[in-house]
Structure formats: C-alpha cells, structure tokens
Amino acid sequence: MLNLNWEKELSKQELLKILQKEARPIGISDIMSASNFIHEDAAYIQADYRRKFVKAYMDGFILRITDLKNDKCQYSGELDHTELKSAFDLLKEQKETNDINEDFNHSFFKIYMIISVYTTFVLDEPIHPTGTPFPGGFEVKLEGETYFCPVKESQKDNPGAVCGFCIAEQDESV
C-alpha cells in the first residue's frame, strides 16, 4: 500500500511520479495473475456480458498499467488533499478486509489501487473507462466534459467499491 506524507500537499505531477514508482515493479507475472483473476471472477457471468466485462477490466485496469508507466505528460494543479486521503483510507480498508480472504488476488488489487488513484486524481477521468458495460445494457459515457456512470449512486457507499471517489456522476437516464 502506498505510503504518502499526509502533512504535505501534493501536485498531480508529484502523485504521478509516486504512482509510477509503485507501478514499476509490476511485471508480466503480476499482469498474468491479475488477468486470470478477472477471467475467474467472470466465470459465472452470462456469456455475452462476460466478454464485455473482461475486456473492460483488461483495458481499464490491467493494460492501463503500461500507460501509467509510460506517461510523460505534465500535469498541473494541486490535488484535493482531503479527497485523496479519503480514497487512500478506503483502499487501505479494502486491502485489510481482503487480506483475510484466501481468494484475494494481491496482483489485481495493487493494479486496481494504483489505476483507481491515477485515473481519478491525475487524469481526471472515471475509474471505469468510457464504454465500460454494466448489466441492463448501460455503460459509462461522456457527455460534453462530464462523465456519467449508471451505478454511481447505488455503489458510492459500498465499502468494496471505489465509486465513492470516482469523478463520474450518476447517469440520471438509468
């Protein structure tokens, strides 16, 4: 789990460098383990939705770790220190809860944690990329400069989800 100095304000650029340092040791064995976890997790999902689910998680989390490692962009601006701390507290709580579960996949969780923070606080994008499908034929979408999620409201207080700090807003058409 990332250790940050909570007494110091961070810029987006500083957070990017910290996340890249955390992502550096993630190698092919971690990516394969996380990928297997996603496929196993989707085993009992209806076949047509399963393909979309697996693709969304592979694209949105697993393959995005390479994007983070190679990100050379310059990001400006300070971060909302309170929101960032809250996100880290939630992720720490999720890790502690999952550590006692023998099926917990540490490789997936590390990628999930890093990418969730990266997309939200550095990229200003939703954690699930645009087009991520959800049951009922709904998906994350972008309208103008606002991202909408079909499950934001129902999941924002779920301690096992990261929706509470995701920048997407509830899709009111759902």
Predicted confidence (pLDDT) per residue in 70-123, tens digit: 999 999 988 998 999 999 999 999 998 888 888 889 999 999 999 999 999 999
Residues composing the chain:
174
Confidence (pLDDT) at 1:
60
Token code pair at residue 161: 């989800």
CA distance 142 to 153: 17
Helices (H) and strands (E) in the chain, counts: 7, 5
Confidence (pLDDT) at 2:
67
Query: In the predicted model, what is the mean pLDDT of the chain?
Result: 91
Q: Strands 146-149, 169-170: parallel, antiparallel or unpaired by DSSP?
A: parallel
Predicted TM-score of the model (pTM):
0.92
pLDDT class of 165 with cuts at 50, 70, 90 = very high
Confidence (pLDDT) at 100:
84
Confidence (pLDDT) at 5:
73
Percent of the chain with pLDDT over 90: 70
Q: What is the mean pLDDT of residues 160-174?
A: 91
Containing H/E element for 117? helix 106-117
What's the number of CA atoms in the CB half-sphere (13 Å) around residue 76?
0
pLDDT above 70 (res 49): yes
Burial of 81 (0-12, 13-18, 19+ CB in 10 A): middle
